[in-house]
Structure 1
Amino acid sequence: MAQAFSFDCKARCSHTQARAGVFQTPHGPVHTPRFMPVGTLANVKTVTPDQLQGTGAEMVLANTYHLHLQPGEDLIAEAGGVHRFMGWHGPMLTDSGGFQVFSLSQIRTITEAGVTFKSPRDGSMIHLSPEKSIEIQNHLGADVIMAFDECPPYPAERDAIIASTERTYRWLKRCIEAHQRPDQALFGIVQGGVYPDLRQEAATALAELDLPGYAIGGVSVGEPPELIARIVAATTPCLPEHKPRYLMGVGTYREMAQSIAAGVDLFDCVIPTRLARHGSALVQGDRWNLKNARFRRDHTPLDDTCPCYTCQHFSRAYLCHLLHAKEILAYTLLSIHNITELIRFTQRIREAILADRFTTEFAEWLKPAPLTSEVPPEHVTM
């Protein structure tokens, strides 16, 4: 494992816990801090692998639960693993299915053995245990695989969070026992709800297991941004400095900047492609609705400072036209730009950390989030 995976810190911010590093994987390096696009079903929606590479993406995610349902891990293993199956040759990470414990709460039952789901496809019952999650991920073959965890909702009573966090730890021990492939790094996931002491206890216990990396889970499940910041600030000091830290499900500018300041290295979120499918673009921290009439005759690029394919070749007017015509190309072009935008944001932070200018260059994003009620809908701050 030590030969296949390593994390090397290249620079640290002199005023915060932010760091710039390199996470080495069997399929290449990931330069951190870094935003990772989500490709749930072994594809980043509407974007080809070549287009994805053009965004600056290094590590891409896929989802264990959904790939288990369709097309099945055995078929993907027959194809040579998820990298070859989807035509992506860079690093990959698979979630464990633990988030579906939260998101599919209406069709699942949790016991110590694992989680039983009612398939949304055909109504059949699917049992996902820690061992089964690891078995599926071993078949899929991503570079980084996640431990099976219980992601509790917000809000939840402290006693319920304690029980959930303790179960997640027991499940992690079973995941470690079941893991069979040294060319895959198993990351543990810190839970604990919005209770800093529970987060710290969980992080300390996981750190003692000496895993290749660690994630902070159970955020972005309905809690306000200030609680996310508090959770991250309480958790990261308890995680090993020489291992990568991954904040799951977060991809807004302010939350990434504040989490990087606390010492987080990796992020993922469906925001860029989901917003694209709703006709929205992320432009230097703002969210624009390209369907708005004001863009109809605007022949300038989305962002003339952006190097992405969309900004280099097309205008706001053209994107507005495609959206009103319901042309699929609109979603591809907006996805390319949005993914590029979030990756560029983390790249710029990395460069600032290397030059020790992080707190000055990103001071605005390090402030607490402003009230958004007075912000026009097409310019909602991300």
Structure 2
Amino acid sequence: MACLHDTALFCSLHDPATNCPTGHVTNKTVSVWGSGGRIEMTAARFIAMQAVIQPDCYQSMADGETWQTNTSRKRVHKAVNRTLAHLDECLTLHHKTPQLKHTEVFGVVEGGDILEERVRSARETAKRPVAGFVLDGFQSAAMEQELRGQLITAVTAELPVEKPRMLQGVGRPDEVIACVEAGVDLFEGFFPFQVTERGCALCFDYNVTPDPEAAALSPPTVLELNGERPAVEDPKQNDVGNTGTMTQFEINLKDIRYREDFRPLVEGCGCYCCKNHHRAYVHHLLVTSELLAGVLLMLHNTAHYLGFFRALREAISHERLQDFKTTVTKVDFGGRKQLH
């Protein structure tokens, strides 16, 4: 129905853009949430659904309800055991399902914020015949970036380097870069959707200037042109899990200052919105609640985010990740992160 031809299709267990209620995981079932409410899934029902969708890969069932702070060690231990049991059952049914012979399974690494449980989960999952790994429970709202980096580094050290590691619940550009440094390979693309829902446009620099002299002659930043301030000056205040909280990587096009701003959302952007419309028009669509506003913003935000990842891959291949990180997370002399 979505006509996703020549596209890798990955099925996650939950929608990364929404928070799922807790308390609905058992030793035999997990619960997923849709427009009609809660749906309880046994392994048989879960695999039957995958057989209909026939994705390229999907994550196994898991008990991911231990990402909240102050979860007891006993509960985290139980969650790891449940997740491994769900994985074993899913793998058994997967190999008995002919429709899934070309589909791969990703095992889920749980463990909350307890290092020993994270390492145990990673080691045991790596023993199973999985094609990759999903690192769950590291959502931006769940833990500090420093602790996340320490745990991910310890987990990836236990996983085979030839199999991809996907991280769930992290999408902010500075956090993405930090997680790449810790060993993550794949990310979910929910962040542009959340930015769009806020009526905002991604507007930050991710181009690494090869010539230091050219960098000194670069044009003024968006902030210098508009007199804007960063949406959030303290990154610790950001909560990507909350659709209503802006980040320092976006501009709020509902703001009245854009009413007569006839520039594209981002100078030089090649997306449909930036090539055909300007900020004032998108501002008008937003304040009049036109559905086209979300369409245009989603086109731009997706293109900008994909451009960020292309630049990130190029920076890694040319061993310029630190230069890239400096560009994306650039600070002024006052220590404030600025948009570009």
Q: Same fold (TM over 0.5)?
A: yes
- Is the CA contact 1:249–1:269 (under 8 Å) kept in the aligned structure 2? no
Q: Which runs of structure 1 show a deviation greater than 6 angstroms over 4 or more consecutive aligned residues? A: 98-102, 117-120
Aligned partner of 1:325 among 288, 309, 312: 288
TM-score by length of 2: 0.77
- Correspondence 1:154 to 2:73: no
Q: 1:189-208 alignment to 2 at 5 Å?
A: 189-208=108-127
Query: Matches of residues 132-281 of structure 1 in structure 2 within 5 Å?
Result: 132-152=45-65, 153-155=67-69, 156-179=71-94, 180=97, 181-220=100-139, 221-281=141-201
- Letter matched to residue 320 of structure 2: R
2:24 aligned counterpart, secondary structure: strand
Higher share of residues assigned strand? 1
CA–CA separation in structure 1 for the residues paired with 2:157 and 2:290: 47
In 2, the alpha carbon distance for the partners of 1:270 and 1:182 equals 29
| Secondary structure class of the residue paired with 1:111 | coil
Alignment of 1:79-118 (within 5 A): 85-89=1-5, 90-97=7-14, 103-105=20-22, 109-115=24-30
CA RMSD of aligned residues (A): 2.9
Alpha-carbon separation, structure 2, partners of 1:279 and 1:291? 6
- Contact 2:122-2:155 at 8 Å conserved across structures: yes
Show CA shifts across 1:143-170 (max 9, x none): 1111000112411112111111111011
Unpaired runs of 5+ residues, structure 1, are 1-84
Question: For 1:91, what is the secondary structure of its paired residue?
Answer: coil
Residue 116 of structure 1 deviates from its aligned partner by 5.6
Asked whether the equivalents of residues 17 and 190 of structure 2 are also in contact (C-alpha less than 8 Å), the reply is no
Corresponding residue of 2:227: none
Aligned length: 287
Higher relative contact order (CA 8 A, sep 6+): 1
Higher radius of gyration, 1 or 2: 2
What's 1:305 paired with?
A: 268
Same amino acid, percent of matched pairs: 28
* TM-score (normalised: structure 1): 0.69
For the 8 Å contact 2:265–2:274, the answer to whether it is kept is: yes
Give 1:296 shift. 0.8
Cα contact 1:322–1:330 (8 A) shared by 2: yes
The answer to whether the Cα contact below 8 Å between 2:14 and 2:33 also exists between their aligned partners in 1 is: no
AA at the equivalent of 2:24: T
> Structure 1: which amino acid aligns with 2:288?
A
Separation in structure 2 between the aligned mates of residue 117 and residue 347 of structure 1, nearest angstrom: 32
Q: Which secondary structure does the structure 1 equivalent of 2:106 belong to?
A: strand
